[in-house]
Chains A and B, each alone.
Chain A
Amino acid sequence: MADKEEEICFKKETVSKLLCSSFKEDKTRLGTEATLLMREMLKVFVQEAALRSLKQAESEDCSQIEIEHFEKVLPQLLLDF
Protein backbone atom coordinates (compact mmCIF):
# COMPACT_ATOMS: atom_id res chain seq x y z
CA MET A 1 0.00 0.00 0.00
CA ALA A 2 1.60 3.28 -1.13
CA ASP A 3 2.09 5.93 1.52
CA LYS A 4 0.01 8.56 -0.22
CA GLU A 5 -0.42 11.87 1.55
CA GLU A 6 -4.07 12.79 1.85
CA GLU A 7 -4.74 15.66 -0.54
CA ILE A 8 -6.80 18.50 0.86
CA CYS A 9 -9.57 19.63 -1.46
CA PHE A 10 -13.15 20.75 -1.52
CA LYS A 11 -15.86 18.12 -1.48
CA LYS A 12 -17.59 17.58 -4.80
CA GLU A 13 -20.99 18.23 -3.22
CA THR A 14 -19.80 21.53 -1.74
CA VAL A 15 -18.50 22.76 -5.10
CA SER A 16 -21.68 21.66 -6.81
CA LYS A 17 -24.02 23.28 -4.27
CA LEU A 18 -21.95 26.47 -4.17
CA LEU A 19 -22.08 26.99 -7.90
CA CYS A 20 -25.64 25.78 -8.47
CA SER A 21 -27.00 28.11 -5.79
CA SER A 22 -25.70 31.08 -7.82
CA PHE A 23 -27.20 30.03 -11.17
CA LYS A 24 -29.91 32.38 -12.28
CA GLU A 25 -31.94 29.79 -14.17
CA ASP A 26 -33.41 26.60 -12.73
CA LYS A 27 -32.59 24.57 -15.80
CA THR A 28 -28.84 25.27 -15.63
CA ARG A 29 -26.92 22.20 -14.43
CA LEU A 30 -23.28 21.49 -13.66
CA GLY A 31 -21.62 18.60 -15.53
CA THR A 32 -19.51 16.01 -13.68
CA GLU A 33 -16.22 16.92 -15.32
CA ALA A 34 -16.98 20.62 -14.86
CA THR A 35 -17.52 20.02 -11.13
CA LEU A 36 -14.16 18.30 -10.82
CA LEU A 37 -12.38 21.01 -12.79
CA MET A 38 -14.00 23.75 -10.71
CA ARG A 39 -12.95 21.93 -7.57
CA GLU A 40 -9.38 22.13 -8.88
CA MET A 41 -9.79 25.78 -9.85
CA LEU A 42 -11.04 26.75 -6.39
CA LYS A 43 -8.18 24.88 -4.78
CA VAL A 44 -5.70 26.78 -6.97
CA PHE A 45 -7.46 30.05 -6.11
CA VAL A 46 -7.12 29.44 -2.38
CA GLN A 47 -3.50 28.28 -2.75
CA GLU A 48 -2.63 31.37 -4.79
CA ALA A 49 -4.30 33.63 -2.23
CA ALA A 50 -2.42 31.93 0.58
CA LEU A 51 0.98 31.76 -1.15
CA ARG A 52 0.87 35.35 -2.36
CA SER A 53 -0.10 36.56 1.12
CA LEU A 54 2.73 34.50 2.54
CA LYS A 55 5.25 35.95 0.09
CA GLN A 56 4.03 39.43 1.01
CA ALA A 57 4.50 38.68 4.70
CA GLU A 58 7.98 37.29 4.02
CA SER A 59 8.96 40.41 2.05
CA GLU A 60 7.90 42.50 5.02
CA ASP A 61 9.80 40.26 7.44
CA CYS A 62 6.68 39.31 9.36
CA SER A 63 6.46 36.01 11.17
CA GLN A 64 2.68 35.78 10.94
CA ILE A 65 0.53 36.34 7.89
CA GLU A 66 -1.90 39.10 8.69
CA ILE A 67 -4.94 40.38 6.87
CA GLU A 68 -2.98 43.42 5.62
CA HIS A 69 -0.77 41.07 3.62
CA PHE A 70 -3.79 39.47 2.01
CA GLU A 71 -5.33 42.89 1.27
CA LYS A 72 -2.19 43.93 -0.62
CA VAL A 73 -2.23 40.89 -2.89
CA LEU A 74 -6.00 40.74 -3.42
CA PRO A 75 -6.31 43.18 -6.38
CA GLN A 76 -3.77 41.33 -8.54
CA LEU A 77 -5.23 37.98 -7.49
CA LEU A 78 -8.68 38.98 -8.72
CA LEU A 79 -7.24 40.31 -11.98
CA ASP A 80 -5.41 37.04 -12.58
CA PHE A 81 -8.55 35.00 -12.10
Chain B
Amino acid sequence: MQELCIFLFLKFHYQKAQNKHTRLKAAVHYTVGRLCQKIGEEHRREFSRQTIAAIAETTFRECDIFAKDLEAFARHAKRSTVSAEDVKLLARRSSALSNHIQNKSEELAQEQRDSRKKSTVKRKSRDTEEESRE
Protein backbone atom coordinates (compact mmCIF):
# COMPACT_ATOMS: atom_id res chain seq x y z
CA MET B 1 0.00 0.00 0.00
CA GLN B 2 2.79 2.36 0.96
CA GLU B 3 4.66 1.51 -2.22
CA LEU B 4 1.59 2.38 -4.26
CA CYS B 5 1.33 5.75 -2.51
CA ILE B 6 4.96 6.54 -3.18
CA PHE B 7 4.53 5.47 -6.79
CA LEU B 8 1.47 7.70 -7.28
CA PHE B 9 3.22 10.60 -5.55
CA LEU B 10 6.24 10.34 -7.84
CA LYS B 11 4.06 9.89 -10.94
CA PHE B 12 2.07 13.03 -10.05
CA HIS B 13 5.19 15.17 -9.61
CA TYR B 14 6.84 13.78 -12.72
CA GLN B 15 3.76 14.65 -14.79
CA LYS B 16 3.60 18.12 -13.24
CA ALA B 17 7.23 18.72 -14.18
CA GLN B 18 6.60 17.35 -17.67
CA ASN B 19 3.64 19.71 -18.15
CA LYS B 20 5.70 22.75 -17.23
CA HIS B 21 8.39 21.52 -19.62
CA THR B 22 5.82 21.09 -22.40
CA ARG B 23 4.34 24.55 -21.80
CA LEU B 24 7.75 26.19 -21.99
CA LYS B 25 8.58 24.33 -25.18
CA ALA B 26 5.26 25.42 -26.69
CA ALA B 27 5.94 29.04 -25.74
CA VAL B 28 9.34 28.89 -27.43
CA HIS B 29 7.86 27.20 -30.49
CA TYR B 30 5.24 29.93 -30.80
CA THR B 31 7.69 32.82 -30.80
CA VAL B 32 10.14 30.96 -33.06
CA GLY B 33 7.29 30.36 -35.51
CA ARG B 34 6.39 34.05 -35.56
CA LEU B 35 9.99 35.15 -36.06
CA CYS B 36 10.46 32.65 -38.90
CA GLN B 37 7.23 33.71 -40.52
CA LYS B 38 8.30 37.37 -40.49
CA ILE B 39 11.74 36.59 -41.92
CA GLY B 40 10.14 34.36 -44.54
CA GLU B 41 7.75 37.12 -45.58
CA GLU B 42 10.59 39.62 -45.85
CA HIS B 43 12.46 37.30 -48.21
CA ARG B 44 9.43 35.88 -50.00
CA ARG B 45 10.15 32.32 -48.94
CA GLU B 46 8.47 29.95 -46.54
CA PHE B 47 9.86 27.88 -43.69
CA SER B 48 8.60 24.33 -43.59
CA ARG B 49 6.88 23.32 -40.34
CA GLN B 50 9.63 20.79 -39.74
CA THR B 51 12.30 23.50 -39.96
CA ILE B 52 10.49 25.76 -37.49
CA ALA B 53 10.13 22.85 -35.10
CA ALA B 54 13.84 22.04 -35.45
CA ILE B 55 14.87 25.64 -34.79
CA ALA B 56 12.56 25.76 -31.77
CA GLU B 57 13.97 22.51 -30.38
CA THR B 58 17.55 23.71 -30.90
CA THR B 59 16.78 27.03 -29.19
CA PHE B 60 15.22 25.20 -26.26
CA ARG B 61 18.29 23.00 -25.85
CA GLU B 62 20.70 25.90 -26.21
CA CYS B 63 18.91 27.61 -23.31
CA ASP B 64 19.92 24.74 -21.08
CA ILE B 65 23.56 25.22 -22.06
CA PHE B 66 23.30 29.01 -21.70
CA ALA B 67 21.75 28.69 -18.25
CA LYS B 68 24.48 26.39 -16.99
CA ASP B 69 27.19 28.68 -18.36
CA LEU B 70 25.55 31.75 -16.80
CA GLU B 71 25.30 30.00 -13.46
CA ALA B 72 28.97 29.03 -13.63
CA PHE B 73 30.02 32.59 -14.48
CA ALA B 74 28.02 34.01 -11.58
CA ARG B 75 29.37 31.43 -9.17
CA HIS B 76 32.92 32.19 -10.38
CA ALA B 77 32.31 35.84 -9.50
CA LYS B 78 31.01 34.68 -6.11
CA ARG B 79 27.47 35.87 -6.87
CA SER B 80 24.20 34.00 -6.64
CA THR B 81 22.40 36.34 -9.05
CA VAL B 82 23.20 36.18 -12.75
CA SER B 83 24.06 39.67 -13.99
CA ALA B 84 24.38 41.51 -17.31
CA GLU B 85 28.15 40.97 -17.12
CA ASP B 86 27.57 37.21 -17.18
CA VAL B 87 25.44 37.54 -20.31
CA LYS B 88 28.11 39.67 -21.99
CA LEU B 89 30.65 36.95 -21.23
CA LEU B 90 28.30 34.38 -22.74
CA ALA B 91 28.28 36.40 -25.98
CA ARG B 92 32.06 36.51 -26.25
CA ARG B 93 32.54 34.00 -29.10
CA SER B 94 31.51 36.28 -31.94
CA SER B 95 32.54 39.94 -31.94
CA ALA B 96 29.39 40.88 -33.85
CA LEU B 97 27.25 39.22 -31.19
CA SER B 98 29.33 40.68 -28.40
CA ASN B 99 28.93 44.19 -29.81
CA HIS B 100 25.21 43.70 -30.31
CA ILE B 101 24.72 42.65 -26.69
CA GLN B 102 26.88 45.50 -25.46
CA ASN B 103 24.81 47.98 -27.46
CA LYS B 104 21.57 46.49 -26.15
CA SER B 105 22.90 46.76 -22.61
CA GLU B 106 23.69 50.44 -23.12
CA GLU B 107 20.26 50.97 -24.70
CA LEU B 108 18.56 49.43 -21.67
CA ALA B 109 20.63 51.56 -19.30
CA GLN B 110 19.66 54.69 -21.25
CA GLU B 111 15.97 53.71 -21.15
CA GLN B 112 16.24 53.33 -17.39
CA ARG B 113 17.81 56.77 -17.03
CA ASP B 114 15.15 58.30 -19.27
CA SER B 115 12.28 56.74 -17.34
CA ARG B 116 13.75 57.96 -14.06
CA LYS B 117 14.06 61.48 -15.44
CA LYS B 118 10.45 61.37 -16.67
CA SER B 119 9.10 60.37 -13.28
CA THR B 120 11.15 63.14 -11.61
CA VAL B 121 9.81 65.72 -14.09
CA LYS B 122 6.26 64.44 -13.54
CA ARG B 123 6.68 64.71 -9.78
CA LYS B 124 8.14 68.22 -10.02
CA SER B 125 5.35 69.50 -12.29
CA ARG B 126 2.77 67.95 -9.99
CA ASP B 127 4.37 69.68 -6.99
CA THR B 128 4.43 73.09 -8.70
CA GLU B 129 0.79 72.57 -9.73
CA GLU B 130 -0.20 71.89 -6.14
CA GLU B 131 1.82 74.91 -4.96
CA SER B 132 0.10 77.28 -7.36
CA ARG B 133 -3.33 75.96 -6.31
CA GLU B 134 -2.75 76.70 -2.62
Contact = CB atoms under 8 A, between A and B. Distances in A.
A81 B62 contact: yes
Nearest to A51: B39
A66 B48 contact: yes
A59 interface: no
Interface residues of B, number: 53
Contact of A42 (B34, B40, B45, B59): B59
A20 to B, nearest CB: 8
A38 B94 contact: no
B90 to A, nearest CB: 7
Contacts, number: 161
Interface of B: 20-21, 24, 27-28, 31-32, 34-36, 38-40, 43, 45-48, 50-51, 54-55, 58-60, 62-64, 66-68, 70-71, 74-75, 80-84, 86-88, 90-91, 93-94, 97, 100-101, 104-105, 108
Interface of A: 8-11, 14, 17-25, 27-31, 33-34, 36-38, 40-47, 49-51, 53-54, 57-58, 63-67, 69-71, 74, 78-81
Given A38-B87, A45-B59, 7 more contacts: A14-B31, A19-B66, A25-B75, A33-B84, A37-B84, A42-B59, A50-B47
